[in-house]
Structure 1
Amino acid sequence: MTRKTGLIAALDTQDPATAKAWAQAVAPSAGAIKLGLEFAYAAGFQAVADVAGSAPLFLDLKLHDIPNTVGSAVRALSHLRPKMLTLHASGGRAMMEAARQACDDAFPAHERPALLAVTVLTSMDDHGLQEIGVAATARDQVVRLGKLAMAAGMDGLICSAHELAPLRDVLGDKPLLVTPGIRPAGSQAGDQKRIMTPAQARAAGADWIVVGRPITQSDNPAAAAAAIVAELAG
């Protein structure tokens, strides 16, 4: 199934001025901007709000703690009104359910973010999982955690493009599937292990792709973002 796939531009920097310049450059093309741990820790949450402005915000904090702490964190983030908010599926059912309840309690119904559970980081592969005691392949672990996350009330999943098809096979069209580790043809893989091009991710069933360095490290971020969107529409 070919679906409409949107671009999330990852603005990974510690400098608010740089992030704001990138956000303005990609605004005509990106459906959302991503601000994550690096920026939030360096610049603070007021800077997150300032850079995002009225743009849809993908707040990528990958929350992972005991259920009460994660629930409290979700409530504390409600003033930012993110469009999407991430947490680790490996935190377990109770943690994800606490996040779901906090989100429903703290946000107006029409402003609730999509809660997205990270399955297996795209920097991990089968060997990396074995090193931390997970005997399953990356694909099997993603499907296992994806099923758990959806049962716990998550709106969608963060997964490698290589796991899109098996997740769609098992979970159907309901989950919002967001895919990092996307590299346009000719881009460097960097620290990503399980990657695809934008067109490949769209064909595999992604609702959103997340692209950072191929945009922000290009000579013309606006043109780079526009080219990715054109590929997605192709």
Structure 2
Amino acid sequence: AGYSEAKDLWHNAPVDTLFPRTLAGPGAGPGSAARTWTRIVVAPDAACTPAVLAKGLLATVRPLGCERVLRATYTDATASSVITVGLVFTDADATVQSTLGQGLTSRLGQDVPPSLPGPGTVAARFGAPQRASWWLNAPADLPVVVTAVSGFADGRPVDSPQPADRAMTAGRTDATAQSGLGHEAKNITLRFEQLLRTAVAPPPTDKAGKDDTDGKDGDDAR
């Protein structure tokens, strides 16, 4: 039931549910440092086209029935990095979805998601040359592909964007790795998967109306 309900989140759920104004990421930075992201721009929902999806991902999801793409850009607490999150809703049935995410990043290679700049914001210069690290995942229990691409807020171009797992490799000394942009790209996708699960299956509450998780797992969106 939750899987079917999730297919309609793109037009049934409020924007602040799908893209919270602020999002906490405990342990999301290098060395398990905490991160807090603030939403700075939201795009209207869009059809699945090359303007909003990387070529390889579009070719992968189009045969499944690509329903709609939602995107928003966030910045970290220091406003030194920016990150565009994409929610790609598909019509894939649960059986297909359960296998879609297996090795998806490695299968697509250098398939970097498009960035979403925000005129008049710290993401004003977040264009294609500024993309530094990215990640994507198709959770088995949701008809969605979650993507994220990160970059520097100062507009510096990056010659060789890196998938998050490579940017997170120990011992790397390049700016993308040391700034934690790989950590942010990978961990924000995990936070959004959790948010979508909560949207279709909110945590139970006791008689006093308190969240039974005691704030341990459900307080990321504020």
After TM superposition, the score normalised by the length of structure 1 is 0.31
TM-score (norm 2): 0.32
Higher helix share: 1
